[in-house]
Chains A and B, each alone.
Chain A
Amino acid sequence: MGMVVNSFQSRENNLMEKIHLSFSPALSIYNQAVLERSKPIQLFNNLEIDENGKVNILFKLEGELTGHIICSFSIEDKVITQDELFHYQSIFTESMNILLGKFLTQLEEETGLMSLISSPRLLTNNKFITEIDSFLHAIKLKTEYQLLTMQNSFDCTIYINANNKNSSKV
């Protein structure tokens, strides 16, 4: 029994390491913005995402990893107009799309786990976030990045809530 538990823990740790390795440490986004990792992959228990001062984007995760990825972008303490907010939101959304696409492509090379993301959806209230938090997900990992543009920098957090349908691959 001890050996089965250790084997499970070892596979989960291995997957976490592969997930960390599959996230690019830095990315240039069409020479107009840069994403830089500010914190490595960590476990989390609950999605404590405040809707105040945050823009939250949802991607569905489908394939051998299934679940949701929530990308949260902080505009707290930023003095920006509504037009600027739409502009930065668009840069953030596409940056996350690119980061996650490269992540899943690299993850498949590392682990053989094949997964895709949906097109992004803007979350306008926390109700859906609360719902996702209530699902049973074996994988609850987060990482943090800084999105740097010419004029501003923003803290971004990526929350992965997923289950691995093919745990024998890792």
Chain B
Amino acid sequence: MEVVDNYRILIVDDSDFSRSSISAMLDDPRYNIIGEASGAKEAINILVDRKAHIAIIDIVMPEISGIELAEKIKESFSNTQIIMISSLSQENIVIDAISVGASDFLQKPFNKETLINSIEKVISNIEEA
């Protein structure tokens, strides 16, 4: 797979504060935040318009959960890798995330180093594919 200069990232979380915090952590030329969505429908609309290498998705969201969104993304945008995030990290939550094809799971709150390590791990999988 071609190595690119910067990786296109979509952030999906119903919390404005969470989205802006995550976006601030990714303030680096290597990462291009193509959009921030507060829910699943908005996320899909962004992906139709602008493809993403990575989607960071909160699990607990109103109407359509992050898990359901991840399933839809895997169906329609199979090249988009997914990192799931949640304040909950019980075993069944993590298993649900893995079962829908998430490349990683992070429990909130996470720091910049943890997030970057996760993204770089996903990027190395993309580059090796």
Chain A residues proximal to chain B, CB less than 8 Å: 27-32, 87, 90-91, 93-94, 97-102, 104-105, 108, 114, 116-119
C-alpha spacing A159/B111, complex, angstroms = 28
Given the complex, which residues of A lie within 8 Å of B17, measured CB to CB?
30, 32, 87, 90-91, 93-94
User: Which chain B residues in 76-92 approach chain A with CB under 8 Å?
Assistant: 86-90, 92
Chain B residues proximal to chain A, CB less than 8 Å: 14-18, 21, 25, 60-62, 86-90, 92-93, 107-109, 111
Chosen A-B contacts, 27 in total, with CB atoms closer than 8 Å, are: A27-B109, A28-B109, A29-B109, A30-B17, A30-B18, A30-B25, A30-B109, A30-B111, A90-B16, A90-B17, A91-B17, A94-B17, A94-B18, A97-B15, A98-B109, A100-B87, A101-B87, A101-B107, A101-B108, A104-B90, A105-B89, A108-B90, A114-B90, A117-B60, A117-B88, A118-B60, A119-B61
Given the complex, which residues of A lie within 8 Å of B25, measured CB to CB?
30
- Which residue, B21, B62, B109, has most C-beta atoms of chain A within 10 A? B109
Given the complex, which residues of A lie within 8 Å of B88, measured CB to CB?
101, 104-105, 116-117
Given the complex, which residues of B lie within 8 Å of A98, measured CB to CB?
87, 108-109
Q: Which of A27, A30, A97, A99 contacts B21 (CB 8 A)?
A: A30
Given the complex, which residues of B lie within 8 Å of A118, measured CB to CB?
60, 62
C-alpha spacing A27/B93, complex, angstroms = 22
Task: Tell me the smallest distance from the CB of B80 to a CB of chain A, in Å.
Answer: 23
User: Given A116-B88, A117-B60, are A105 and B107 neighbors across the interface (CB < 8 Å)?
Assistant: yes
Query: In the complex, which residue of chain B has the Cβ closest to the Cβ of A63?
Result: B90
Give 10 new A-B contacts, CB below 8 A, not counting A101-B87, A101-B89: A32-B21, A98-B108, A99-B87, A105-B88, A114-B90, A116-B90, A116-B93, A119-B60, A119-B61, A119-B62
C-alpha spacing A88/B89, complex, angstroms = 26
Given the complex, which residues of A lie within 8 Å of B86, measured CB to CB?
101
Query: In the complex, which residue of chain A has the Cβ closest to the Cβ of B20?
Result: A90
Given the complex, which residues of B lie within 8 Å of A99, measured CB to CB?
87
A114 and B60 within 8 A (CB): no
C-alpha spacing A63/B20, complex, angstroms = 31
Task: Tell me the smallest distance from the CB of A158 to a CB of chain B, in Å.
Answer: 14
